[in-house]
Chain A
Amino acid sequence: MKSITVALAGNPNSGKTSVFNMLTGARQHVGNYPGVTVEKKEGQCTHRDWRITFVDLPGTYSLTAYSTEELIARNYIQEDRPDVVVDVVDASNLERNLYLATQIMEMDVPMVLAFNMSDLARRRGLEFDLTQLSQLLEMPIVPTVGNKGQGRTELLDAIVETAGAERKERTHRVTYGGEIEDELLRIEETLGKTDGDVVARYGRRWLAIKLLEQDEEVTSKIRDRQVLEAVGQSVTHLRDILGDEPEIVMADRRYGFISGACQETIQSSVERRHDVSDTIDAVVTNRILGLPIFLLLMYVVFFLTFKVGSYPMEWLEAFFGALADGIVRHWPEGHAEWLQSLLVDGVIGGVGGVLVFLPNILLLFMAIALLEDSGYMARAAFVMDRIMHKIGLHGKSFIPMLIGFGCSVPAIMATRILENRRSRLTTIMVIPLMSCGARLTIYALFIPAFFPQHWQGPMLWLIYLIGIVLGIVAAKLLRLTVFRGETTPFVMELPPYRMPTSKGVLVHTWQRGWLYIRKAGTVILALSIVLWFAMNFPKPPADRLSGLDTQEARQEGLRYSTVGRVGLAVEPVLQPLGFDWKIGTALIGSVAAKELFVSQLGIIYAVESPDEDSPSLREQLRANYTPLVGFCVMLFCLISAPCVATVAMTRQETNSWRWALFQFFGLTGLAYAVTLVVYQVGRIWL
């Protein structure tokens, strides 16, 4: 059995993922490229007596040093030297797709071209002379239809054949025209005299091209001053005679090479100006209808995720409830009660509390996969871009922020649709300000406790509005400070509309759902156990509990625990906000999950079966606090400390504890500042 590694390259929207899925089936491993938030997918398959490992490179249009994804793809090919690079091209949009191919060709790796969506191209009236194109590009071309699984065997045959074949020197390549070729030759000559290591690894021609393009990354690899001087002279000279940057002219020439190749090998039998895609676009990006259609679709996504998802969610809740009951019922009386509590309250409460969201997550990702695979996602960004751009974000940021009103955890996962790192981080940081469903239970308890009937609606609306306004301000501030930098140019392809395939959508949904399950089983499990210990230990000595009933004993237990002590300890800090140690303790407990705030207050006020509709708890609150304090509590809960699951998700998606902690403490600090001002000003005013 021979083992080879094959890299999969291609434009976004070329159907690369479907080809990857077709080749590797379910045997995939999803991770991150080291140090960056770019997803790395690997998969395996065996073909004849070959064992093939596929690496799915990020989808890119080019291989410059200007974007992380392009750099990763390029470095993978150059540093890891895969045995074959398969370039997946969208046959119905050949010119732009071949642009990437010309750049991979220059890296001198064995290539195979997967002519994907060839069925669609034919239906559009395009006829290809693949034999001739294959000769021109000097690589095998295999027509595939990734989402229907067509062309798999042929593609694998071509891959192993290419891997086993002897390497030949290319005879056809992009020529950049007399003046540029002269300079390339000059740079190659200087390179020949020096920098042995780098030259051997990357090849002279490729280095010369990248140097002339003034590629920052490659230039930084060259130590020899002579080479750099020669490059400098060439660039100045070319700029003079071409009247433009060499890099731009060279990009033009690549398109020239492609036009030439296409001219000879493609025949368009029908002249079609407007197809179905154009007609759909005329409606969904229409000046009047565009926004309403977008909002309607977002409503459908929201409805599907949280309304339809609430039924399986209830079943799961019932299941975990039954599981906890079962444990309690069958637990041998008087044996290791703490272990029972750890299992029931800590593990099942914590992990179960997160896993019950799995149906919502799966439905949400199904909706997103449908929007992405159909091509609508790009239009949504197009429609929303102007508004989001004003706060320094990308049109696509709207979608995760909207999902944040349901739950921050899937919302943070949904930021994967954002390609730009700064936009993505900013969006992740402000998502907890979109008031999630769990926090609604707090408002539902407090608002009726403190405000008259006719104020209740506007109050709730005000809380949500404050979150949105703070989110906008925070995003803008972050883009001006921590995530400063040029706003990403909005140069985005609007892919033709396609009918999503059920297989593609399911694979997409499952991959992300599985990540979520794994998260619940690891980080969230660990943090839940830690928090359980903090809420239950140390135990009060037996003499302090004597003579107390169950309710009072629980109250005393919480007061004596680490969380209770911290609550007491931070009371002086919380006093300027109008909070006492009871609220402080409940706030700390709510870090596990926001809805715990209500049950914690219930324990503290020794109310039986506390929930947000509990009249006795409301009475207690009314008796102990002013409406101003009540409002401040809601404000603090809205802004402060995202829950454990959110912290864990931010950690995973940003690949760093730094951002997770920055978000946690940043938001808590913001909550403190805002609440302090509101309370102190309110006290004078009211």
Chain B
Amino acid sequence: MIFESTRSLSASLEDYLQAIFWTVAAKGAARAKDIARQLGVKASSVTGALQTLAEKKFVHYQPYEAITLTAEGFDEAARVAQRHFIVREFFVRVLGLDEAVADKEACRMEHCVGDDVAERLATLMEFVKAHPEMQSGVSQLLAERDHSDGMPASVRRGPVTVADLRSGQKAVIVAVRSGAALARRLVDMGLGRGALVEVEGVAPTGDPIRVKIRGYQLALRRTEAAAISVVGK
């Protein structure tokens, strides 16, 4: 569902959309000056970009008022975020790049990689993860090529749901899927679409996990956390 898009925005507009997406997730709404500060641009450029995004019905925007995303805007932003995430995780986990370098690369590639390519990268990453011998093979080759560091000691699973996030990782919820009672309970507690969730820690026995949501702390079993689909930051 996240992957079926047609490209309709320029790279810079996608950046604006991303900035709004994360700010709204964290604060409920965004202001032009927040966006300007985050992207390091002038307020006047933000205004222009916001008008364009509003015309395309991606954001609700009135001058001097808080900015929120429309349903389409949310989906489009989630798609870009997803591409960014997949590319970065692929770089880190399969290619063994340093996190900071991978993130910087992903910032550029999120605009030019097609959804189809991203999906295939994700599939390849799943395959590599499922076959540890491949992982060790790749890391061995890389280690032979380059004796300096940069390769993560253990290559972990790529996040898809809250259960897959590592401690300290943040993500935006895109869907809650499970039986009626549980899904309702989760959404009632604030774990709804568009909310920012952060995994804070894990119980000594490995389950349940602690997350921060809407400014408070919640404990969830992994089985419940697996019902919450997210895009990671």
The residues of A with any CB-CB pair to B shorter than 8 Å are: 61-62, 64, 66, 93, 95-96, 99, 214, 243-245, 247-248, 251-252, 255, 259-260, 262-263, 277-278, 281-282, 285-288, 290-291, 378, 381-383, 385-387, 389, 486, 489-496
Q: B50 to chain A: closest CB distance in Å? A: 17
For B27, list chain A residues within 8 Å (CB): 263
- Residue pair B176, A99 in contact (C-beta under 8 Å): no
Say whether, besides A252-B187, A491-B218, A493-B217, A285 and B206 are in contact (CB < 8 Å): no
| Chain B, Cβ-Cβ closest to A378 | B219
Most chain A beta-carbon neighbours within 10 Å: one of B27, B29, B217: B217
- Residue pair A248, B217 in contact (C-beta under 8 Å): no
Say whether, besides A383-B204, A385-B208, A95 and B214 are in contact (CB < 8 Å): yes
The 8 Å CB contact of A287, one of B1, B192, B204, is B204
Check B186 for interface membership: any CB of A closer than 8 A: yes
The 8 Å CB contact of A382, one of B192, B203, B215, is B203
For A496, list chain B residues within 8 Å (CB): 216-217
Say whether, besides A214-B180, A263-B66, A489-B182, A386 and B207 are in contact (CB < 8 Å): yes
- Residue pair A385, B224 in contact (C-beta under 8 Å): no
Q: Residues 149-193 of chain B: 1 if any A CB is under 8 Å from the residue's CB, otherwise 0?
A: 000000000000000000000000001100011111111111011
Bound form: Cα–Cα A288–B203 in Å = 9
- Residue pair A248, B184 in contact (C-beta under 8 Å): yes
Most chain B beta-carbon neighbours within 10 Å: one of A252, A259, A389, A491: A491
For chain B, give the interface size range. 35 or more
Say whether, besides A262-B28, A489-B221, A245 and B180 are in contact (CB < 8 Å): yes
Bound form: Cα–Cα A95–B189 in Å = 10
Bound form: Cα–Cα A92–B205 in Å = 31
A-B contact pairs, 24 of them (CB 8 A): A61-B189, A66-B184, A66-B185, A93-B215, A96-B190, A96-B214, A252-B187, A255-B195, A259-B28, A262-B28, A263-B29, A263-B66, A291-B204, A382-B210, A383-B204, A385-B207, A486-B181, A491-B189, A491-B218, A491-B219, A491-B224, A493-B218, A494-B217, A496-B217
Q: Residues 196-216 of chain B: 1 if any A CB is under 8 Å from the residue's CB, otherwise 0?
A: 000011111111101000111
For B185, list chain A residues within 8 Å (CB): 62, 64, 66, 489, 491
The 8 Å CB contact of A389, one of B175, B189, B214, B221, is B221
Q: B220 to chain A: closest CB distance in Å? A: 6
For A491, list chain B residues within 8 Å (CB): 182, 185-186, 189, 218-220, 224
Bound form: Cα–Cα A385–B202 in Å = 12
- Residue pair A288, B181 in contact (C-beta under 8 Å): no
Say whether, besides A95-B215, A491-B220, A248 and B183 are in contact (CB < 8 Å): yes
Not counting A62-B188, A64-B185, A383-B203, a sample of 12 additional A-B residue pairs whose C-beta atoms are within 8 angstroms of each other reads: A66-B181, A251-B192, A263-B66, A282-B201, A381-B219, A382-B208, A382-B210, A385-B205, A386-B206, A389-B221, A491-B219, A493-B189
Bound form: Cα–Cα A665–B184 in Å = 40
Q: Residues 50-87 of chain B: 1 if any A CB is under 8 Å from the residue's CB, otherwise 0?
A: 00000000000000001000000000000000000000
The 8 Å CB contact of A251, one of B29, B187, B207, B216, is B187
For B203, list chain A residues within 8 Å (CB): 285, 290, 382-383, 385-386
For B210, list chain A residues within 8 Å (CB): 281, 285, 382, 494
- Residue pair A278, B28 in contact (C-beta under 8 Å): no
Closest 10 CB pairs of A and B: A259-B28, A290-B204, A386-B205, A62-B188, A494-B217, A251-B187, A252-B192, A490-B221, A66-B181, A95-B214
For B201, list chain A residues within 8 Å (CB): 281-282, 285
For A282, list chain B residues within 8 Å (CB): 201
Bound form: Cα–Cα A262–B215 in Å = 13
Bound form: Cα–Cα A473–B164 in Å = 32
Check B194 for interface membership: any CB of A closer than 8 A: yes
